[in-house]
A and B are shown apart, each in its own frame.
Chain A
């Protein structure tokens, strides 16, 4: 029996803001002492009122624009009512029937995944139990540092067809969010949380199956595995004659499986109604157009341009376009060096892993110095590091440290001959068939003359050993 997989994603993203959604508290960081980023407003004290954080609205609008969403003229906040100890007011301020934006899409490897809505809401606090779950714990503690932290909820249509595509979608979204500066989107820091809704249906059937929602997913790998597990589980349930139950399931990283958390058979009634403490928003269209104009080039289009304009392989273009700073560096350095392929190699192989950004002119100089054989690749790496440290140009560093590579054939030949003369046993071994001794001899050459042109030296070494 063949099955189609249908996945819709709900992704909560913490926009990049200094303060919380409705008060002046710092958003704080993972590991801050419990209840250290709180005030009367986010503690839900009697008499307090929310005030909208404009930076969060701006981040949400930028995200919506980058996701090709429509931004309605009227939007408002609503109260979602339910009682839980991590929810200080007894309701969450969210958006119900008039979200900030609707009807967009994100292109993932050539396929469009439709976006239903992007809206703003506030996060809840965190419970820590001594004992088991809340209702069995002998003592529970409430940490409200996260309470009131802004969240954008990005809801896709059920357009995703499998675990691979779900992961690609989430990664593409992260890249997009970082590119436009809307969020740091670090999954490990809880700034991006994926909740896939998964169902299966028989091949060529249009009926949607019963869906389950997955939570507790902390990495893209976990996202992929959790979805794969859940698809297999659902197929097994149905093929053995059972039915999938509509529920929320948690992903257990240690057991690598999903487990039932909460049945959704009896839907909770959240009694949504318009938040009377916040007047409806009428978003300034001029502001929105300004934001649209200020958006940087988005990753998808940049990727395509890096392939078309610079002739990069698709994989290299994807790596570079995933980080706006790297992509900016690449384009500037490639233009300066005139060597797109080598510049890309340096950006991907050296700059990206270092986590630091050199000036494009300096990077271009290094690419040229190594490319023309003036210095070795190892030396190039050192020179680049030094130029980032004290700002000197690579050419100056090479000159002052006398690093220029020795490429004169006569001089190189003299060095090689000297090394061979000093190591008669190695030479004999090689000639007796132990060819790997050549590596030892090459190392001796570099030891004797670090600036030697290695390619030339290796050539001569082979020739003289023959």
Chain B
């Protein structure tokens, strides 16, 4: 039954509708695959057998009655930052060890209502801060293509689970590239929607003005189906927009006549690997052959994006993480003399190094006397970056570039130097600062490791990003393969 773990949603949905397989069988196949490969990949933090049994039964009931939609019975893995009622949710942090939310967030609820079956909770960098999943408060996750390498991050567990056939689809969150970058280095499709497209209610906040929930999948179509199911206004999130859910409009129309922009600055970033650059050039040629017009565009403030991002995101996180104080839930150091000592010890012992670093950075940036020089200045840079994109989109329909300047790097190779880690996000975080939709699709290999092509579109134009990504998928014939971590080189 192992081929059941290599299906896309539409393939599985057809089999389910024809009753060739049941939702329970689909789950069983995935559980078997997890048992085989997860001890090596370590994509999951926890499993939810009670949920998958109940949800698979419910899906089978529906399918028997001829009801259900494209996601009915589809096994999904959920990043450890999305609250699911009664399921331990820790944001990859020891400080939340044992925390079981009393509610389920909106995006996950919508997937459940659409009939998805939850397999478990996936590993991530602590509070989604990182680009390698090495900052997890539990253990690192391994890239299924090469177990000595990272799966990217922060949603590394969700990316690795889909890449290794341990889930058909998964959810991640993207604050500076945390869906697109792991998708790229794990060879799967990953999408960050427009800020406000998917409700953040139930997402344990890292940086509220940048965070978005999005899907991982093995095809652009699968990603679009998951996004469509989650998208739409939520009265519980004041920043979620009330707009038509048209993300799959024009999905299969191809790129003929479209104008695609290649930002000059994105080709010149520090540390861009030759192999990645070559794969991207080839992908752009493929799109051109498929009928797109390729134009060069400029994003002149790209160099300042990283600096602005590393002020704004830590500033918001320093405030968002203040609630983890040992008073209400999670870890609480009790052998203390007073409340101040309880705060300090709980937070010192509960948070990891990177989280503490960012809390300190953000606290400093917001402090009186520094606010104008850092936070306010960073917000102005953010406005300039938005303007850069507005200008660029006046010359093209979508922007294409590499998702990550590098392929998956060896575990431990960048942990000593946080700046080298931050550089992993240099091509993705502009999309977060400007609130744009972006998608990463597999576009070949470099050094035997996957490379991702990023497509960025104007705000609310997920349809454009999906259309271009889909056209590339069709034209190139590159399909997200399931990695085989059981064999030495990753490819089975």
Report A's interface with B, CB cutoff 8 A.
Answer: 40, 43-52, 79, 81, 83, 85, 88-91, 134-136, 140, 142, 269, 271-273, 276-279
Contacts and interface: CB of A to CB of B under 8 A. Distances in A.
Given A142-B328, A271-B371, A277-B239, 13 more contacts: A45-B83, A47-B105, A48-B202, A51-B238, A83-B322, A90-B325, A135-B339, A269-B368, A271-B366, A271-B367, A273-B315, A273-B366, A276-B316
Contacts of A47: 81-83, 101, 105, 201-205
Interface in B334-349: 338-340, 343
Contacts of B343: 83
A91 B324 CA distance: 12
Contacts of A46: 83, 89, 91, 96, 99, 101, 204-205, 323-324, 329
Nearest to B379: A274
Given A81-B319, A276-B209, A51 B102 contact: no
A49 B238 contact: yes
B449 to A, nearest CB: 34
A113 to B, nearest CB: 30
Contacts of A269: 367-368
Contact of B329 (A45, A81, A136, A140): A45
21 contacts: A46-B89, A46-B91, A46-B99, A46-B101, A46-B204, A46-B324, A47-B202, A49-B200, A49-B236, A49-B239, A51-B238, A52-B238, A81-B322, A140-B339, A269-B368, A271-B363, A271-B368, A272-B366, A273-B315, A276-B208, A279-B238
Contacts of A85: 325, 327, 339
B375 interface: yes
A85 B327 CA distance: 7
Interface string B217-251: 00000000000000000011111000000000000
Contacts of B264: none
B315 A277 contact: no
Contact of A43 (B204, B318, B328): B328
A48 B201 contact: yes
Interface of B: 81-83, 89, 91, 96, 99, 101-103, 105, 200-205, 207-209, 235-239, 315-316, 318-319, 321-325, 327-329, 338-340, 343, 363, 366-368, 371, 375
B365 to A, nearest CB: 9
B347 to A, nearest CB: 10
A272 B329 CA distance: 25
Contacts of A135: 338-340
4 smallest CB-CB distances across A and B, nearest first, come from A90-B322, A276-B208, A271-B366, A276-B209
B202 A88 contact: no
B319 A90 contact: yes
B379 to A, nearest CB: 9
Contacts of A40: 101-103
Contacts of B96: 46
The B interface, classified by DSSP as helix, strand, loop or mixed, is loop
B316 A88 contact: no
Contacts of B89: 46
Contacts of A50: 238
Given A269-B367, A269-B368, A271-B368, A45 B319 contact: no
Given A45-B329, A134-B339, A90 B204 contact: no
Nearest to A91: B319
A45 B322 contact: no
A272 B366 CA distance: 7
Nearest to A136: B338
Nearest to B85: A40
A279 B239 contact: yes
A273 B203 contact: no
A47 B87 CA distance: 14
Contacts of B338: 134-136
Given A47-B202, A91-B319, A83 B325 contact: yes
A43 B329 CA distance: 10
Contacts of A43: 328
Given A79-B319, A81-B319, A45 B238 contact: no
B405 to A, nearest CB: 28
Nearest to B103: A40
Contacts of B91: 46
Contacts of B204: 46-47
Give the residue among A52, A90, A272 with the most B Cβ atoms within 10 A. A90
Given A46-B91, A51-B236, A79-B319, A273 B101 contact: no
B239 A271 contact: no
Contact of A91 (B99, B322, B340, B367): B322
Contacts of B235: 51
Nearest to A135: B338
Nearest to A85: B327
Contact of B327 (A51, A142, A278, A279): A142
Contact of A81 (B202, B209, B366): B366
A417 B322 CA distance: 89
B366 A88 contact: no
Contact of A277 (B82, B101, B208): B208
A144 to B, nearest CB: 9
A273 B375 contact: yes
Contacts of A279: 238-239
A45 B203 CA distance: 11
Nearest to A77: B238
B237 A49 contact: yes
Contacts of B366: 81, 271-273
Contacts of B371: 271, 273
Given A51-B235, A91-B319, A45 B102 contact: yes
A49 to B, nearest CB: 5
Nearest to A269: B368
B332 to A, nearest CB: 11
Nearest to B338: A135
B328 A273 contact: no
A278 B200 CA distance: 12
B50 to A, nearest CB: 21
A2 B335 CA distance: 56
A46 B200 CA distance: 11
Contacts of B375: 273
Nearest to A40: B103
B99 to A, nearest CB: 7
Nearest to A51: B238
B328 A88 contact: yes
Contacts of A45: 83, 101-103, 328-329
A85 B239 CA distance: 28
A90 B204 CA distance: 15
B319 A273 contact: yes
Give the residue among A48, A88, A134 with the most B Cβ atoms within 10 A. A48
Contacts of A136: 338
Contacts of B239: 49, 276-279
Contact of A49 (B201, B325, B368): B201
Contacts of A48: 201-202
Contacts of B238: 49-52, 277-279
A229 B177 CA distance: 61
A272 B363 CA distance: 11
A120 to B, nearest CB: 14
A386 to B, nearest CB: 51
A277 B316 CA distance: 10
A44 B319 CA distance: 12
Contacts of A81: 318-319, 322, 366
A57 to B, nearest CB: 13
A40 B106 CA distance: 14
Contacts of A91: 319, 322
A51 B208 CA distance: 14
A114 B375 CA distance: 33
Nearest to A52: B238
B258 to A, nearest CB: 32
Nearest to B127: A46
A140 B327 CA distance: 10
B386 to A, nearest CB: 15
Nearest to A271: B366
